[in-house]
Amino acid sequence: MHTPGPWKAGDTDEFGDVTILPESGGLAVAAVPNGEFMRIRGKTGEHHANAQLIAAAPELLDALKQAKGWLENWASAEPQIAVIDAAISKAEGLTGK
């Protein structure tokens, strides 16, 4: 089970890394490195975008589960439900992909 959300992207630290934190406080969930490698590649803002995406993960997972519940009422939505199931399984660590 993952750390309950919501999460937030913290401030950039002295190394240019961004830490993902639970909004309720506590230990970091993850860190998105910036470092010299990102500057060399010319993607200095990409790590901030990655941090925002990671921080939204708990809410995205909840929204996906809600959407699946709604789509299950539609027989024609089987392909979409399969995509949703795969994404949920990946997010919950039930698949190696």
Q: Where are the domains of the chain?
A: 7-55, 59-91
The chain-wide mean pLDDT, for the chain, equals 86
pTM: 0.75
DSSP alpha helix (H) spans, 14-93: 35-40, 46-55, 57-71, 78-91
Give 3-state DSSP helix, strand, coil % of the chain, rounded to 5. Answer: 50, 15, 35
Residues in CB range of 59: below 8 A, 6 or more apart? 5, 6
Q: In what order do the strands lie in the sheet with 18-22?
A: 7-12, 18-22, 30-32
- Between 39 and 10, the more confident residue is 10
pLDDT at 96 over 80: no
pLDDT of 88 = 95
Task: Average the pLDDT over 35-43 and give the result.
Answer: 63
Portion of the chain with pLDDT greater than 90, in percent = 49
pLDDT of 37 = 60
Task: Average the pLDDT over 24-52 and give the result.
Answer: 77
Confidence of residue 56 (pLDDT cuts 50, 70, 90): very high
> Are the CB atoms for 47 and 38 separated by under 8 Å?
yes
Residues in CB range of 42: below 8 A, 6 or more apart? none
